[in-house]
Structure 1
Amino acid sequence: MSDTEPTTSDASTSTLARQLEDLDRVVYRFRQNPMSVIGLGIILAFILIAIFAPWIAPYPSDAGYAGEPAVHYDQKFEPPSAEHLFGTDQAGRDVFSRVLFGTQLSLKIGAVVLAAAVSIGVPIGLAAGYFGGRIGMVLMRITDVFLSVPPLVLALSVSVALEPSLTNAMLAIGAVWWPWYARLTYGEVLSVKKETYVEASRGVGASSVRTIFRDILPNVLAPITVKMSLDMGYAILVASALGFLGLGAQPPTPEWGTMVSQGRDYLPAQWWYSTFPGLAIFLIVLGFNFLGDGLRDMFDVEVQ
């Protein structure tokens, strides 16, 4: 072997160096947007709160997870103080503790909704974009039917048809969210499947399933990831809207939208009852929007 001939080890080192350089470039793009860093900080804070809520909450029994929540009618509607940071509600329950536990529910709702939407929408978009023809036309026409109805209106219709509950609210939102992922994936596949490496995969006799999941899917994940980060906040917002209308989580579940709905009856005197859950909704949606914008700049993709 010639002394100047590159070895396998040298090639692996060069590949690793390029990957690290690409990673540094991606991270640099993300850090260039201060709002994205703020968004990441907000989301990490909410995740930590959700994980450690049972230990952070000063009155965990007030959340209602261990059967019926404790009631303290002698402490009802106490304003924010050192003992009750966010005050108390009409049953004397600590609003701060309930908001903390509501973080777990909100993140769970967003995760379940997006998992359902991606599980349905992405395979439909992959199949429609790759196979095209009659299959693609039928799948996209079905998708267009769902896209023609505003998501909140369709989610309300499904929720009304089902018994109001947290589970049914997640099912309703997930059932109306998948068309956006089908449409996005379809458009990305149409552009990717013309690439040389996809044609080469077909040329060597690779199966359609292998080509789709090994050659196409990895190259369309960036816009899907960005959309998921943006949609997480919207899914939480829609779930809160259903809870506010009485079609989502039911009392005494500490869900933010339900708490805002209950607290509106006592405005403006007991302002803290609705204000703090509302602020939690605002912050988590804002955080995911900032994070999504940062990921969009980082991956340099456009998402509708």
Structure 2
Amino acid sequence: MTTATTEVSKHRAPRAARSRSRAAEIAARVWADSTGRIAVPLLGVLVLVAVCAPLLAPFDPAQQNLQAASQAPSWLGGQGGHLLGTDTLGRDVFSRILFGLRLSMVVGVVTATGAALFGLVLGLLAGYFENSLGIVLMRVAEIQFAVPFVAVGVALAAVVGPGIVKLMIILAVWGWVNYARTIVNSVSQTKRLDFVTAARTIGARTPAILFRHIAPSVLGPVVILWSTSAGVLILVESALSLLGLGVQPPGFSLGSMLADSRTTLRLAWWATVFPGVAIMLLVVAFNLLGDAVRDALNPSARGKADPELW
């Protein structure tokens, strides 16, 4: 009997060792997806480059040298060893892209996270109190959808003044609508399930029901929206920087680099094209990551790539 039990235990051990958390399973599915295998390394490289910007930048990104203004990239015959050339003030474009990438990524990630948290809380409240507070919040959301953000951004900038921190706060508060509208129906359905009813019966308080029992059931759409909206917010920051509402000198982002060089496109096209390419790579990386996360969380997509096979 002991020998048989030992043999059974040996056969069961590998299965127990392979048990993983929910997060690990989702990460495995993301990596198993072909889109995820492009997004994760691309985003990882961009993050690494941004973090190591002080080590990789060959020049001071803020140093001006009018004698080297509008120098072409070194591989196009430019002088001074500037890999991507210089702008109209003689500042090295490559060094500025490295440092501007940091601020643009912070804007996208931090603002998207703030909007996700704000939208998650309001979406939970709107779905749980659907016949009272939910009606008010959804009407506010409909009104907000009808108003162009650029007009609101210009008006708010005229009142509070331009600045990257103020812009991030405005974007985070304004972005709650997409999250709330996405999860409100799921919250309304989840609150009627047996496990929520049981928690309410044993005396669980409303905050505990919302954040301990209902919130985990609706995190999937929130994560998907977060990964895609981060890239969108980077584009929004770039567009508002073109209007002078984003980061102010001496600070700079990829968007403000485009704003500074838009009037000299014919004279120094590299000062506009290369920051634009960097923005494109950032947005593509976040969008591809969002697609991979969506497929990983979608039960109907699990058959496309089984992470156990990799």
Give the 3 Å change call, closer, same or farther, for CA 15–130 of structure 1 in structure 2. farther
CA contact (8 A) 2:113 2:226 kept: no
Give the 3 Å change call, closer, same or farther, for CA 181–254 of structure 1 in structure 2. same
Look up the match of 1:181: 179
Report the Cα offset of residue 171 of structure 1: 2.2
Moved more, 104-113 or 153-162: 153-162
Look up the match of 1:66: none
Q: List per-residue Cα deviations over 1:158-216 (Å, max 9, x = no partner).
A: 23433122122212222311111121231221122222211221122211111111111
Look up the match of 1:251: 249
Report the Cα offset of residue 119 of structure 1: 3.0
1:72 to 65, 68, 80: 65
Residues 1-304 of structure 1: matches in 2 within 5 Å?
Answer: 19-20=19-20, 26-27=26-27, 29-59=29-59, 61-62=60-61, 69-81=62-74, 83-300=81-298
The one-letter code sitting in structure 2 at the alignment partner of 1:238 is V
CA contact (8 A) 2:64 2:89 kept: yes
For 1:150 and 1:301, the matched residues in 2 are separated by: 35
The one-letter code sitting in structure 2 at the alignment partner of 1:284 is L
The one-letter code sitting in structure 1 at the alignment partner of 2:70 is F
Give the 3 Å change call, closer, same or farther, for CA 157–81 of structure 1 in structure 2. same
For 2:212 and 2:181, the matched residues in 1 are separated by: 20
For 1:119 and 1:27, the matched residues in 2 are separated by: 21
Give the 3 Å change call, closer, same or farther, for CA 75–257 of structure 1 in structure 2. same
For 2:84 and 2:42, the matched residues in 1 are separated by: 19
For 1:152 and 1:240, the matched residues in 2 are separated by: 12
CA contact (8 A) 2:70 2:267 kept: no
- Structure 2: 5+ residue runs without aligned partners? 1-12, 76-80, 301-310
Report the Cα offset of residue 237 of structure 1: 0.5
Q: List per-residue Cα deviations over 1:39-97 (Å, max 9, x = no partner).
A: 122211111112111111111x22xxxxxx32111111111116211101111111100
The alignment-based identity, stated in percent, is: 36
The one-letter code sitting in structure 2 at the alignment partner of 1:137 is I
Give the 3 Å change call, closer, same or farther, for CA 158–292 of structure 1 in structure 2. same
CA contact (8 A) 2:83 2:94 kept: yes
Report the Cα offset of residue 21 of structure 1: 8.6
CA contact (8 A) 1:222 1:301 kept: no
Give the 3 Å change call, closer, same or farther, for CA 152–34 of structure 1 in structure 2. farther
Moved more, 114-123 or 28-37: 28-37
For 1:34 and 1:160, the matched residues in 2 are separated by: 45
Report the Cα offset of residue 234 of structure 1: 0.3
For 1:220, what is the secondary structure of its paired residue?
helix
Following TM superposition, the consecutive aligned residue runs of length 4 or more in structure 1 with deviations greater than 6 angstroms are 21-24
Report the Cα offset of residue 103 of structure 1: 1.1
Give the 3 Å change call, closer, same or farther, for CA 162–197 of structure 1 in structure 2. same
Give the 3 Å change call, closer, same or farther, for CA 187–18 of structure 1 in structure 2. farther
For 1:225 and 1:115, the matched residues in 2 are separated by: 10
CA contact (8 A) 1:71 1:92 kept: yes
For 1:16 and 1:135, the matched residues in 2 are separated by: 46
Relative to the length of structure 1, the TM-score reads: 0.86
Q: CA RMSD in A?
A: 2.8
Report the Cα offset of residue 293 of structure 1: 0.3
For 1:142 and 1:35, the matched residues in 2 are separated by: 36
Give the 3 Å change call, closer, same or farther, for CA 232–134 of structure 1 in structure 2. same
CA contact (8 A) 1:223 1:301 kept: no
Report the Cα offset of residue 15 of structure 1: 9.9
For 1:125, what is the secondary structure of its paired residue?
helix
Give the 3 Å change call, closer, same or farther, for CA 159–74 of structure 1 in structure 2. same
